[in-house]
Copies of this chain bind each other. A is one copy, B any other.
Amino acid sequence: MEVIREIAPLRGRIKEIKGENMSIGFVPTMGFLHEGHLSLMRKAREENDYLVISIFVNPLQFGVGEDYEEYPRDLERDKELAASVGCDLIFSPPVKEMYPRGYSSFVEVERLTERLCGASRPGHFRGVTTVVTKLFNLISPDRAYFGQKDAQQAIIIQKMIQDLNMDLELVILPTVREEDGLAMSSRNKYLTPYQREQALLIYKALQKAQENIEVGEKNTERIRESIREIILQGEEAVIDYIEIVDTYEFQPLSILQGSCLIAVAVKLGEVRLIDNIMVEV
Contacts and interface: CB of A to CB of B under 8 A. Distances in A.
Contact of A137 (B7, B103, B165): B165
A111 B105 contact: no
B164 A133 contact: yes
Interface in A132-175: 133-134, 137-138, 140, 159-160, 163-167
A239 interface: no
B104 A107 contact: no
Contacts of A106: 107-110
A134 B133 CA distance: 12
B137 A167 contact: yes
Interface string A90-121: 00000000000011111111111000000000
A11 interface: yes
B134 A164 contact: yes
Contacts of A134: 163-165
Contacts of A102: 249
B105 A107 contact: yes
Nearest to A248: B102
A151 B132 CA distance: 29
A91 to B, nearest CB: 11
A137 B164 contact: yes
Contacts of A167: 11, 137-138, 140
A137 B104 CA distance: 20
A167 B7 CA distance: 11
Nearest to A110: B104
Contacts of A11: 167
Nearest first, the 10 closest Cβ-Cβ pairs linking A and B are A105-B163, A104-B110, A137-B165, A105-B109, A138-B165, A105-B160, A134-B165, A106-B108, A104-B111, A105-B164
Given A105-B110, A106-B109, 19 more contacts: A102-B249, A103-B163, A104-B109, A104-B111, A104-B163, A105-B107, A105-B109, A105-B159, A105-B164, A106-B108, A106-B110, A107-B108, A107-B164, A133-B164, A134-B163, A134-B164, A134-B165, A137-B166, A138-B167
